[in-house]
Amino acid sequence: MAASTTTDNFKVIGTRPIRHDGVDKVTGRAKYGADYAFPGMLHGKVLRSPHAHANIKSIKIDKALKLPGVKAIVTSKDLPQAENKLEQSGEMVINPMYLSMNILAHDKVLYDGHAIAAVAATSPHIAEEALRLIEVEYEVLPPVMTVDVATKPGAPILLKDLRNKEEGDKQTNVAQHYQFKRGDVEAGFKAADYVIEREFNTAMVHQGYIEPHNAVGIYNSDGQATIYCSTQGAFDVRSLSAQVLGMPVGHIKVVPAEIGGGFGGKTTIYLEPLSVLLSKKTGAPVKLVMSRSEVLRASGPTSGSKIKVKMGATKDGKLVAAEIWMAYEAGAFPGSPVGAGAMCIIAPYTVENFLIDAYDVVVNRPKTAAYRAPGATNAAFASETIIDELAEKCGIDPIDFRLKNAVKEGDAQVVGPPFKRIGLIQTLEGIKNSPHYKSKLTGKFRGRGVASGFWFNAGMQSSATVNIHADGTASVVTGSPDIGGSRASMAMITAEVLGLPVTDVRPITADTDSIGHTDVTGGSRVTFATGMAVYEAAKDAERQLIERAAKVWEKKPDEVEFRDGKLHAKGNGVPPMSIKQLAPRFPRTGGPITGRASVNARGVGPGFATTLVDVEVDPDTGKVQILRCTVAQDAGKAIHPSYVEGQMQGGTAQGLGWALNEEYFYDDKGTLRNSGFLDYRMPTCLDLPMIETVVIEEANPGHPLGVRGVGEVSIVPPVAAVANAIYRAVGVRMLETPMSPPKLLKAMLKHRDSTKHSAAAD
């Protein structure tokens, strides 16, 4: 089902061709990072801290070095001093010193799994044996696992350089305080007929990509290095690795391998600089691959959080005030997505008066990384639950309540500037008109919930080249690692502009030396921003084709037109010429044709989604079964509808896992107790129904094809939608994630007791 505001008569865009990299991926030929092997290659392993918080007194590597087959060991002593400063890197702000301290612990370990040393040996098994021979002496410190503990007066301090500017420059675990406000909150609440105030807690969760982090580093004696790895951003790996290694950016080439999922988690570096360091010490290529346990313990999950929300509405269902306090776990180093969360938490609604305070808090957990609409899912869980409750108080259908308050073009965003054309209302109406919403849900312990979500989407830098081959076919080269089928979209945009069959366009993801700078595959930006570069590059090729045809016909370029994949001379009866017919004349008319474009994309179109979910709760165990689920999302323009649906379904599935089962479970010593897929329980095939999709196409005026980007926002509403559905099923408002059987059962028993008591009192 699709509702479209784009009227363009596309031939390729909007169709569903087979992806160009498809055959390689169903035959096992596609090369992911861990599939690379080179002659003489060594294998690396990383020694990791068993403690959540400890000072490192000493590291002894002599015994390990003597093990036959061990070639080199590196510790933080092998890293240059990195600067303590803030720097923009793609979507994130990074501090090179903290980045370096995360790659290899300097004088302190800050979480269970923190890297301490890396070994290169002739086999991964020998490298692993060597880890056991490295002797580390620790002074164990009390672990700081939650924002509550971290912010208590006198709490153990994680980072000696972290100081609170708001509180007399004292040492602190609070890395950042953001505040957003508008209007008069007090007056707003006075005008409210209903006010709801609640506190929510969400657990730290992981992106859960199936492919562990990997890297092969090759350092040459001339000072040039090459890194092969699975990453969302080859250019970011290059610049971040250069910072950590103290190498010039231009001396590192990063070759992005096929990538086995990332969802934000592969936008930073872990093993990459270690592979180069070990290669430099040994003179051989060195490969490192994380185990699943290492991925969970020591890559970058997203923040657990504590969020207090107070919201008020008038009895006719108008939101009038919001007061919000939120604190996110950053992990061991500053940089949780709490700022983004704060800007998202009431973004879908017009609220005249609000005050939002948001805190970034360091704790003894792995440094968080981006995870699909970072920060927004936690936030929406809190606000969308309150909205549901206010709708109920007002006696208004939850979708109608949202429609009454929904933002539209011209309304102010939380940060101030007005929205351009957006599609929140259309997603709400899309759900209302869906077969799912129109169906009746009957039966005991069953409930239906709805929630909406917002995500900014990102622009940033992208480059593209379009090469026209000697036979009139083309290739399109970009620097965006393809994580979910985007190559097909790049080929489709090229084919659309040049009037070629999509099978005549070969899409390539190039290394950092072969294409202009391109920021991460993240922020839902590839089809939007890289797609914009591809569109412009194809248009550049088109312009050159027109010039060449004009030369052949001895006409001026403005006397030649390009349409339907053919060059037409205006006026006289010259028969049109196809690119295929023109291509053999390239050598005599000026040489090969290469269309080029680089953009720093403006005109980002925000994404909205609304999710409807039916659940059934087992009254004896508290287990929740998802019976039916529909997601409506505004794509702007769906270039390849199958992969747009795929993003919507995938984000929804991750959101459902977040809602029901997934959590980092630490013991009182700060040791992660569920660092495997058996106990970190992600949804399987059996846990989910088909996920129905409603693709809204409310064209983004900031993009030549109307594209918004679709990668992220679908993960935002499901947690709240499930909570709202559980409430309708069993009458319990869940205020924490995951809503797993033990937690829900406990809440249900408490609810039964309290209703019994009130019945007795009546």
Partner 1 sequence: MKKTLVEATINGETVEFLCEPRQSLLETLRDVLELTGSKEGCLTGDCGACTVLLDGHAVCSCLVLGVEAQGKKIDTVEGLATQGVLSVLQNKFLEHASLQCGICTPGFLISAKSLLDRNPKPTEPEVRYALAGNLCRCTGYDKIVKAVLDAAADIRSQGEGKAAAR
* Residue whose CB is less far from partner 1, 324 or 713: 713
The DSSP code for 666 is B
**Chain residues 280-309 in contact with partner 1, contact rule CB under 8 A:** 289, 291-292
For residue 115, give Cα distances in angstroms to 271, 410, 514: 10, 49, 32
Element (H, E) at 282: helix 272-282
Applying CB under 8 A, among 1, 37, 470, 749 the residue interacting with partner 1 is 37
Residues 711-750 that bind partner 1 (CB under 8 A): none
Q: Which of residues 262-281 bind partner 1 (CB under 8 A)?
A: 262-263
Among 14, 208, 331, 606, the residue binding partner 1 under the rule CB under 8 A is 208
Amino acid at 533: A
Please tell me the distance from the alpha carbon of residue 241 to that of residue 269, in angstroms, as a whole number.
7
**Contacting range for partner 1; rule: CB under 8 A; set: 146-154, 530-538, 549-557, 679-687:** 679-687
Residue 28 found at the interface with partner 1 (CB under 8 A): yes
- What is d(CA 239, CA 248) in angstroms, rounded to the nearest whole number? 9
Determine, following the binding rule CB under 8 A, whether residue 22 of this chain makes contact with partner 1: yes
Q: What is the 3-state secondary structure (H, E, C) of 221-252?
A: CCCCEEEEECCCCHHHHHHHHHHHHCCCHHHE
157 binds partner 1 (CB under 8 A): no
Nearest CA among 752, 626, 730 for reference residue 684: 626
**Site membership for partner 1, residue 19 (CB under 8 A):** yes
Find the shortest distance in angstroms from Cβ 295 to partner 1. Answer: 9
Q: How far is the CB of 619 from partner 1 (least distance, A)?
A: 23
**Residues binding partner 1: what is the number (CB under 8 A)?**
58
Q: Which residues of 348-382 are buried (b: 16+ CB within 10 A; e: fewer)?
A: bbebbbbbbbbbbbbbbbbbbbbbbbbbbbbbbbb
Shortest spacing between CB 33 and partner 1, in angstroms: 10
Cβ proximity to partner 1, 685 vs 759, nearer residue: 685
Asked about 712 being catalytic, the answer comes back as: yes
> How far apart are the C-alpha atoms of 662 and 372, rounded to whole Å?
15
Q: Which is nearer to partner 1, 26 or 760 (CB)?
A: 26
The half-sphere exposure of 70 on its side-chain side, counting CA atoms within 13 A, is 23
Taking the least distance from each CB to partner 1, the nearer of 14 and 516 is: 14
- Does 40 sit near partner 1 (CB under 8 A)? no
Catalytic residue, chosen from 294, 323, 384, 712, is: 712
State which residue, 213 or 402, has the beta carbon closest to partner 1. 213
Residue 410: exposed, middle, or buried by beta-carbon count in 10 A (0-12, 13-18, 19+)?
exposed
Residues in 623-642 that interact with partner 1 by CB under 8 A: 640, 642
State yes or no: residue 211 binds partner 1 (CB under 8 A). Answer: yes
What is the radius of gyration, based on Cα positions, of the chain? 27
Q: Tell me how far, at minimum, the Cβ of 396 lies from partner 1, in Å.
A: 31
Tokens linked to 542: 């088109």
d(CA 421, CA 345): 20
> Omega before 256 cis (within 30°)?
no
Give every CB contact of residue 390 below 8 A, 6+ residues apart in sequence: 194, 196, 311, 312, 313, 317, 319, 401
- Closest Cα to residue 642, out of 193, 143, 650? 650
Write down the least CB distance from residue 211 to partner 1, Å.
Answer: 4
Largest separation between any pair of C-alpha atoms in the chain: 97
> Cα 221 to chain center, whole Å?
37
Among 31, 182, 432, 728, binds partner 1 (CB under 8 A): 31
Q: Closest separation between CB of residue 382 and partner 1, Å?
A: 24
Cα–Cα separations (whole angstroms), residue 43 to 47, 68, 255, 279, 375: 14, 14, 19, 10, 36
Tell me which of 95, 173, 207, 241 binds partner 1, using CB under 8 A. 207
The CA distance from 501 to 653, in Å, is 34
Give yes or no for residue 236 binding partner 1 (CB under 8 A): no
Binding part of the chain for partner 1, among 253-261, 272-280, 524-532, 604-612 by CB under 8 A, reads 253-261
Segment near partner 1 (CB under 8 A), from 346-354, 572-580, 675-683, 748-756? Answer: 675-683
- Please report whether residue 14 would count as binding partner 1 according to CB under 8 A: no
Residue 528's closest CA among 494, 499, 486? 486
Q: Which is nearer to partner 1, 329 or 662 (CB)?
A: 662
Contacts with 13 (C-beta within 8 Å, 6 or more apart), sequence order: 492, 493, 496, 637, 639, 705
Can you tell me which of 57, 60, 66, 125 binds partner 1, judged by CB under 8 A? 125
Interface residue with partner 1, options 8, 35, 193, 352 (CB under 8 A)? 35
| Residue 437 binds partner 1 (CB under 8 A) | no
Please report how close the Cβ of residue 581 comes to partner 1 at its closest, in angstroms. 32
Site string for partner 1, 164-203 (x = CB under 8 A): ----------------------------------------
Nearest distance, CB of residue 482 and partner 1, angstroms: 9
| Contacts to partner 1 from residues 506-565, by CB under 8 A | none
Query: How far is 382 from 341, CA to CA, in rounded Å?
Result: 11
Contact characters 471-510, partner 1, x per CB under 8 A: ------------xxx-------------------------
| Residue nearer to partner 1 on the CB measure, 434 or 652 | 652
Q: Residue 674, interface with partner 1 (CB under 8 A)? A: no
Rounded CA-CA distance 595/500 in Å is 15
In the complex with partner 1, the residue whose CB is nearer, 582 or 659, is 659
How far is Cα 500 from Cα 233, in angstroms, rounded to an integer?
29
Nearest distance from C-beta of residue 65 to partner 1, angstroms: 20
Q: Which of 47, 62, 49 is nearest to 139 (CA)?
A: 49
Q: How far apart are CA 600 and CA 490, in angstroms?
A: 17
Region binding partner 1 by CB under 8 A among candidate stretches 110-118, 259-267, 300-308, 613-621:
259-267
Residue 650 as a binder of partner 1 (CB under 8 A): the answer is yes
Interface with partner 1 (CB under 8 A) = 16, 18-19, 21-23, 25-32, 34-35, 37, 125, 207-212, 258-263, 289, 291-292, 483-485, 640, 642-643, 645-647, 649-650, 652-654, 676-678, 682-686, 688, 690-691
Catalytic residues: 712
